[in-house]
Amino acid sequence: MGTRFLPATKAQPKEMLPLVDKPIIQYVVEEAVASGIESIIIVTGRGKTAIENHFDVAYELERLLESRSKLDLLKEIRSISYMISVSYVRQKEPLGLGHAILMARDFVGDEPFAVFLGD
């Protein structure tokens, strides 16, 4: 468990800390998309469900934005969910970067891959 960003990370993962107007991990995913990557796997752990929620569809929020005619913001929110195919695997114990990469082995197979770090 990292302590450098406490207390800001007491209840949210470092990857979800905002950098200007977006969480850090969104910049990482956007960079992957800009690099031509079409699908990613995010290795998560205990207390990191906010990451999955961020890239999931937010139907209630979308309806609210639509009802308030905030169409530019609605378009931006929708783009987060559809910019790339995202899968998740949970690392049950924080055993280091090598172990986290190994957790994605079945997803990657023999294909080339890149490692992006959002924390």
d(CA 116, CA 38): 14
Half-sphere CA count of 23, side-chain side, radius 13 A: 20
Does residue 41 register a pLDDT over 90?
yes
Q: What is the pLDDT of residues 86-95, one digit of tens each?
A: 999 999 998 9
SS3 at position 43: strand
pTM of the full structure: 0.86
Instruction: Kindly give the residue spans of alpha helices, DSSP state H, lying in the chain.
Output: 24-34, 49-55, 59-67, 71-82, 97-103, 105-108
CA angle 12, 16, 20 (to 5 degrees): 125
Does residue 1 register a pLDDT over 60?
no
Q: What is the mean pLDDT of residues 7-11?
A: 83
